[in-house]
Amino acid sequence: MTEEIVKSALSKVLYPGFTKDIVTFGFVNSIEINGSDVSFNVDITSSAPEVAQQIKDDATAELKAVGAGNITCNIKAPQMPRESSSRGKNIAPQVKNFLMVSSGKGGVGKSTTSVNIAIALAAQGKKVGLLDADIYGPNIPRMLGIEDIKPEVNGNKVLPIKAYGIEVMSMGSLMEPGQSLIWRGAMIMKAIEQFLRDILWSELDVLVIDMPPGTGDAQLTLAQSVPVTAGLTVTTPQTVSLDDSRRSLDMFKKLNIPIAGVIENMSGFIAPDTGVEYDIFGKGTSTPMAEEFDTTIIAEIPIEPAIRTGGDEGKPITFVSPTSETAKRYMAAAESIWATIEEINANGGVDNQAVQPTTPPGVSACSTPKQPEPQQSEGSCGTGCGCH
């Protein structure tokens, strides 16, 4: 065994989520060779345990293939996740990354997706918060079984509620059950800002944000208040749903939010008795739309009674049945989202400077002459400000 053979074998090991290998990145050092035994260090920039494990597994396989005997791979990972490299306005600077979960319309499974992705990310070792910013239909407390828990208030700050290893806050936890509020644009903006500024979120790796359906004031305010690291669109496979989802993806583009992917929900039906998968709304129909926006379908989640009962009873499927096919799909989607977030940060992060209002407070952003993109839909300025 020579150092050259070792290096050439290790240069086949890609850094998870990237197209470059660990040797090219300069992560491999202290190679020691004793006969056919090999030991070496890999200094990685991610503290995610699954990244270390994958590198270890791949490196071992590549070295075995060239005849190595005992292989000792010491992975050196930083204790804390890499700081976000994002810039611009951030009114919740203790949160490193923000994932905005959007859909064109309600009822497609946005909250179900937010809950299960948040739990999957937490299961993968991230410190996760879940903000239910759907002020019109705050369903997250029920989906997590915390609908009777009132948060602790500390001065004018509110402590997030803890459930299934994640921090949670929702308008539903702050209002009486069944109450409704009539939201004006300015109130929506204030509510979103308070969710970020006045909730005592910990130092989170990622805050998953379940947005109201559509593209409006809430989305614009969020993008202006914090640098949103990535956006996730939830759709169902029917054509009418896809039309709305396109608007959601277009909004990410207009707000300069990198797209982490599309989740096709209610994609086929898995019969609980036989496990046979049936096609109901169509399946895989979202792919051309994802391609239009240079992204991919990161999970096809079937219609499954256990998903609905899990939501109704506050027992998310990813937590209570982690070995189920559906939970595995959510876990894979979460891994893909995290890889995208790490890649975005490695490439300089995001900057929300370009979407800041350039008009004085109280004046509509729509009067701003400069728009990032030419107007596409009739009568809309594209900022989602809702004033056209």
Rg of the chain (C-alpha set): 22
Task: Output 209 or 337, the one with its CB closest to Mg ion.
Answer: 209
Instruction: Report what 116 binds from Mg ion, ligand ADP, none; CB cut-off 5-8 Å by kind.
Output: none
Residue 182 CA to chain centroid, in angstroms? 29
| Rounded CA separation 102/112 (Å) | 12
Cα angle: 259, vertex 262, 265; to 5 degrees: 155
Q: What character string, x for contact with ligand ADP (CB under 6 A) and - otherwise, covers 81-100?
A: --------------------
Under rule CB under 6 A, residue 145 binds ligand ADP = no
Under rule CB under 6 A, residue 308 binds ligand ADP = yes
Task: Output 301 or 339, the one with its CB closest to ligand ADP.
Answer: 301
Please state the closest distance from residue 303 (CB atom) to ligand ADP, in A: 4
Query: Binding segment for ligand ADP among 52-60, 105-113, 357-365, 379-387 (CB under 6 A)?
Result: 105-113
Instruction: Report what 307 binds from ligand ADP, Mg ion, none; CB cut-off 5-8 Å by kind.
Output: ligand ADP
Under rule CB under 6 A, residue 110 binds ligand ADP = yes
Query: Binding segment for Mg ion among 107-115, 120-128, 160-168, 199-207 (CB under 5 A)?
Result: 107-115
Please state the closest distance from residue 103 (CB atom) to Mg ion, in A: 8
104 backbone φψ class: left, alpha, beta (φ>0; ψ -120 to 50): alpha
**Nearest alpha-carbon partner for 330 in 106, 124, 51, 55:** 124
Under rule CB under 6 A, residue 311 binds ligand ADP = yes
**Nearest alpha-carbon partner for 130 in 140, 120, 143, 145:** 140
Instruction: Count interface residues toward Mg ion (CB under 5 A).
Output: 4
Using a 10 angstrom Cβ sphere, with 0-12 exposed, 13-18 middle and 19 or more buried, the burial of residue 1 is middle
Under rule CB under 5 A, residue 111 binds Mg ion = yes
Please state the closest distance from residue 295 (CB atom) to ligand ADP, in A: 19
Using a 10 angstrom Cβ sphere, with 0-12 exposed, 13-18 middle and 19 or more buried, the burial of residue 90 is middle
Query: Binding segment for ligand ADP among 90-98, 110-118, 151-159, 376-384 (CB under 6 A)?
Result: 110-118
Q: What character string, x for contact with ligand ADP (CB under 6 A) and - otherwise, covers 229-268?
A: ------------------------------------xx--
DSSP secondary structure of 96-133: --EEEEE-SSTTSSHHHHHHHHHHHHHHTT--EEEEE-
Under rule CB under 5 A, residue 103 binds Mg ion = no
Tokens of 19: 């197209």
Binding ligand ADP (rule: CB under 6 A), the pick from 86, 139, 173, 295 is 139
Instruction: Report what 233 binds from ligand ADP, Mg ion, none; CB cut-off 5-8 Å by kind.
Output: none
Using a 10 angstrom Cβ sphere, with 0-12 exposed, 13-18 middle and 19 or more buried, the burial of residue 342 is buried
Residues 133 to 152 in contact with Mg ion, rule: CB under 5 A: 134, 139
Q: What DSSP designation does 83 have?
A: P
Under rule CB under 5 A, residue 267 binds Mg ion = no
| Rounded CA separation 330/385 (Å) | 32
Task: Output 64 or 308, the one with its CB closest to ligand ADP.
Answer: 308
- Is 131:169 a contact under the CB 8 Å cutoff? yes
Under rule CB under 6 A, residue 44 binds ligand ADP = no
- Is 184:149 a contact under the CB 8 Å cutoff? no
Query: Binding segment for ligand ADP among 19-27, 78-86, 103-111, 197-205 (CB under 6 A)?
Result: 103-111
Under rule CB under 5 A, residue 112 binds Mg ion = no
Chain residues in the site for ligand ADP (CB under 6 A) = 103, 106-112, 139, 265-266, 301, 303-304, 307-308, 311
